[in-house]
Amino acid sequence: MSGKRLILMGPPGGGKGTQAKRLQEKYGIVQLSTGDMLRAAVKAGTAVGKQAKEVMDAGKLVSDDLIVAMISERIDEPDCANGFILDGFPRTVPQAEALDKLLSSKGIALDKVIEVAVPDAKLIERITGRFTCAKCGEGYHDKFKQPQKAGVCDACGGTDFTRRADDNEETVTSRLKAYHDQTAPLMPFYKEKGLLEVLDGDRPMDAVTADLERVLGS
């Protein structure tokens, strides 16, 4: 499959990042994670990072204008020409409307919007157990995906791991609230356009991947 343009939606900790990385590898389309972009900006201490840090640490949503400007610039880069997976964007109705305008101004259309649905009760455990390799960004979980050799990254052999500042129980509650209040209204928005596919994300990672591949085809 080439030239696919997807949105992967779902609650915090629902598995968007995990699945987007697998799809990126299988289909050769690039993962565009607004969360990763913002964390990189925070780490680099840029103006965007300074603006976003406090909002992210509180589990709230960064301003639509800032996010739309960031995505608009990123989508113009050459690696997006073969298709992309939007992971964590859009997250509000104004962001979805801005994306529509942006894509139609470039003469491109979305192929699918896929919601990976997971009940709230499962998300706290997923989020509080998450850690990543500091060197290559490979994702792990205390219970669901441990490195084969304890303390050593399977992907790159790195031995430093990090946990996100917003991966704690208090922040998860506000992230879930933001999801239900501001992002869930996007499902009817995309359903009406005939683009929405809802998958059960409350299953082992490989089962979710198989479902995604079934929806996306070869």
Residues forming the active site: 16, 91, 130, 164, 175
Q: How far is the CB of 90 from ligand AP5 (least distance, A)?
A: 6
CA distance 150 to 144: 14
8, 87 in Cβ contact below 8 A?
Answer: yes
Structure tokens at 60: 């709230």
Q: Which is nearer to ligand AP5, 37 or 216 (CB)?
A: 37
- Work out how close the CB of 1 gets to ligand AP5 at its nearest, in angstroms, rounded to a whole number: 21
Shortest Cβ 22–ligand AP5 spacing (Å): 10
Is the separation of the CB atoms in 66 and 51 below 8 Å?
A: yes
Tell me the residue nearest to ligand AP5 as measured from the CB: 35
Q: Where along the sequence are the contacts to ligand AP5 (CB under 6 A)? A: 10, 12-18, 34-35, 38, 55-56, 59-62, 67, 88-89, 91, 95, 126-127, 129-130, 139, 141, 144-145, 175, 204-205, 208
* Residue with Cβ nearer ligand AP5 (141 or 191): 141
- Give dist(CA 73, CA 80) in Å, integer: 11
Q: Which is nearer to ligand AP5, 2 or 93 (CB)?
A: 93
CB of 34 to ligand AP5, least distance (A): 3
Torsion (CA) 101, 110, 197, 132 in degrees, nearest 10: -90
In sign, the C-alpha dihedral spanning 111, 20, 73, 181 is positive
Nearer to ligand AP5, 3 or 98 (CB): 98
Inter-CA distances, 178 with 53, 102, 209, Å: 16, 24, 26
